[in-house]
């Protein structure tokens, strides 16, 4: 029990496996004689699912921590900049129904809540435009920085869109060549138990038994360790989040000079929504929907109609891939000496790109709190489970928020999403509260919330939610400060619109010349 944790065995590759391996190997010096040994076992014939190609801004810090060059990342992963998400037709379904959830925080977010001061002007200017500049940058297809801005630094906060398959290959090369991760391509045939119930080793076809002090399950929906070996129950959330099927495809650009959207476009449909993600070489487009409310053929027809609006020459013959989704997560994620990361832990739906950030957060906490020995592992495991059960609940709340605020009544899908029985109790309590006061920092209990109150503001007020005016609110000093921030945002918006290159122009320059090192 007192033996130091020195060997980490990751079963499964893909983005989840290699990000986890890279984070742990970089922090615990896997490439040195005294470092932690990290081994990743990957099946030679499993391809990545690649549903989510969007990240959060946290990915910049993760890549930097792993010692990855942002220039190399752009060149090898077909990556582009992401500055937020545009939600179209989620409120009324009308052609002009759209709002932004940008990645920058509202002006003055650390010192003042601008939402109450914007509410009297809600009919004149959208909330996102009043408190941030990023929606305007996205509307014009502008980049979040200039080519003279150093790697990972920013003018406007940003994340990435990327090719999941190329990203996994890129991470594999970096982790094995630079970070000391041992890579084994083989099939795992059995999981072998120790006397205390831990996993002692896994057996493989060609490499025998591979032992480990800590095992990380990155085997995707297969959940070989956490599910099939330990039988940790899966908790379905389909009664809250209905979408259980996705149809995905790749859509070529008209030419290699076509604009690249610097945001995810999420367009609501009759029984789900369509994502549209711009990469340098193509668009990733897919329709996620509820099979209880529509058929595969009807959903595919909607997807092809969407593609036809921009590429009528391709809409009838483009190849579409079907993906089954089971929205939910494991009852616990760390059991004995095994922790599940990525799809093995669970999946909800592609909305707001929560899948990859959960991988990042999991890898970071495992690495930062890596148990010194088996004796203290259960303490760390409980903290990990408590933290991530909370995080999954908050993500579920936030995703459901997008559905319950709709005014659409054109299908059972939208009406059923507003049924009070499908709304989590914590979310309903917050909605009740926010009818009288705008979301703010103290509405949530964690200092490292996955979604800050600003994100709730962007969605709430983007979808036309109304917060009643408080007659007792102190006005004079706060009103003056709010006016200053509104003015600063207007000035900053004009400055950035005039000074930033297009998304494609900057990506082309990065590929040709590279970004400055920090």
Q: How far, in Å, CA of 334 to CA of 386, rounded? A: 10
Q: pLDDT by residue (tens digit) across 113-161?
A: 999 999 999 999 999 999 999 999 999 999 999 999 999 999 999 999 9
**Confidence category of residue 473, pLDDT binned at 50, 70, 90:** low
Q: Which CATH superfamily is domain 7-53+163-238+327-393 in?
A: FAD/NAD(P)-binding domain (3.50.50.60)
Mean pLDDT of 257-274: 97
E runs forming strands in 423-467: none
Using a pLDDT cut of 70, give the percent of the chain over it: 97
Of 401, 164, 413, 398, the residue nearest 302 (C-alpha): 413
Q: In what order do the strands lie in the sheet with 98-102?
A: 98-102, 84-88, 264-268, 272-278, 282-289, 245-252, 321-324
CB 77 within 8 A of CB 86: no
Mean pLDDT of 469-479: 66
Mean pLDDT of 98-127: 96
Q: pLDDT by residue (tens digit) across 403-446?
A: 999 999 999 999 999 999 999 999 999 999 999 999 999 999 88
In this predicted structure, what is the pLDDT of residue 50? 54
CB 38 within 8 A of CB 405: no
Of 403, 365, 405, 370, the residue nearest 386 (C-alpha): 365
Q: How far, in Å, CA of 345 to CA of 332, rounded? A: 8
Three-class DSSP category at 31: coil
Mean pLDDT of 67-75: 97
Please tell me the pTM assigned to this model. 0.96
In this predicted structure, what is the pLDDT of residue 201? 98
**Confidence category of residue 274, pLDDT binned at 50, 70, 90:** very high
Q: pLDDT by residue (tens digit) across 302-353?
A: 999 999 999 999 989 999 999 999 999 999 999 999 999 999 999 999 999 9
In this predicted structure, what is the pLDDT of residue 49? 61
Radius of gyration of the chain (CA): 23
**Predicted confidence (pLDDT) at residue 48 exceeds the cutoff of 70:** no
In this predicted structure, what is the pLDDT of residue 158? 98
In this predicted structure, what is the pLDDT of residue 51? 47
**Predicted confidence (pLDDT) at residue 475 exceeds the cutoff of 70:** no
Q: pLDDT by residue (tens digit) across 26-36?
A: 999 999 999 99
Of the chain, the end-to-end C-alpha distance in Å amounts to 43
**Predicted confidence (pLDDT) at residue 204 exceeds the cutoff of 80:** yes
Q: Return the higher-pLDDT residue of 96 and 50.
A: 96
In this predicted structure, what is the pLDDT of residue 46? 75
Q: How confident is the prediction for the chain on average, in pLDDT?
A: 95
Q: In what order do the strands lie in the sheet with 214-217?
A: 182-185, 37-42, 7-11, 214-217, 338-340, 334-335
């Amino acid at each position: 029990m007192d033996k130091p944790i020195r060997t980490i065995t990751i079963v499964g590759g893909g983005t989840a496996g290699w990000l986890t391996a890279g984070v742990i190997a970089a922090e615990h010096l896997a490439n040195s004689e005294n470092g932690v040994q990290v081994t990743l076992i990957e099946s030679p014939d499993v391809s990545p699912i690649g549903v989510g190609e969007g990240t959060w801004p946290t990915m910049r810090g993760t890549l930097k921590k792993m010692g990855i060059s942002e220039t190399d990342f752009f060149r090898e992963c077909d990556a582009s900049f992401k500055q937020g998400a545009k939600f179209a037709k989620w409120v009324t379904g009308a052609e002009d129904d759209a709002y932004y959830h940008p990645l920058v925080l509202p002006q003055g977010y650390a010192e003042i809540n601008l939402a109450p001061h914007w509410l009297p002007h809600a009919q004149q200017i959208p909330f996102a435009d009043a408190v941030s500049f990023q929606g305007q940058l996205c509307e014009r297809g502008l980049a979040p920085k200039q080519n003279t801005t150093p790697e990972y630094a920013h003018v406007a906060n940003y994340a990435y869109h990327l090719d999941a398959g190329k990203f996994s290959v890129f991470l594999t090369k970096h982790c094995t060549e630079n970070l000391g991760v041992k890579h084994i391509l083989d099939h795992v045939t059995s999981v072998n138990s120790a006397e205390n119930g831990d996993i002692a080793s896994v057996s493989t076809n060609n490499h025998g038994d591979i032992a480990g002090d800590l095992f990380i399950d990155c085997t995707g929906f297969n959940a070989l360790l956490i599910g099939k070996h330990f039988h940790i129950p899966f908790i379905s959330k389909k009664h809250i989040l209905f979408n259980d099927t996705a149809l995905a495809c790749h859509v070529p650009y008209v030419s290699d000079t076509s604009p690249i959207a610097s945001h995810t476009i999420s367009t609501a449909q009759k029984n789900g929504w369509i994502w549209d993600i711009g990469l340098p070489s193509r668009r990733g487009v897919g329709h996620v929907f509820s099979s209880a409310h529509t058929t595969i053929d009807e959903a595919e027809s909607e997807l092809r109609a969407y593609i036809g609006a921009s590429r009528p020459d391709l809409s009838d013959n483009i190849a579409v891939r079907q993906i089954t989704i089971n929205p939910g997560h494991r009852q616990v994620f760390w059991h004995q000496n095994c922790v599940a990361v990525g799809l093995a832990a669970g999946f909800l739906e592609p909305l707001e790109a929560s899948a990859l950030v959960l991988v990042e957060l999991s890898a970071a906490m495992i690495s930062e709190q890596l148990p010194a020995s088996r004796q203290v592992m259960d303490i760390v495991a409980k903290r990990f489970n408590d933290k991530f059960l909370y995080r999954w609940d908050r993500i579920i709340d936030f995703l459901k928020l997008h559905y319950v605020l709709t005014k659409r009544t054109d299908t059972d899908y939208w009406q059923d999403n507003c049924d009070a029985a499908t709304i989590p109790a914590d979310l309903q309590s917050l909605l009740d509260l926010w009818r009288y006061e705008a979301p703010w920092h103290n509405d949530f209990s964690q200092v490292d919330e996955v979604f800050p109150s600003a994100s709730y503001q962007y969605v709430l007020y983007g979808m036309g939610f109304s917060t009643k005016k408080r007659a007792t609110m102190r006005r004079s000093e706060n009103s003056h400060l709010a006016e200053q921030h509104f003015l600063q945002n207007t000035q900053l918006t004009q400055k950035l619109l005039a000074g930033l290159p297009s998304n494609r122009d900057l990506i082309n320059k990065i590929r040709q010349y590279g970004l400055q090192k920090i």
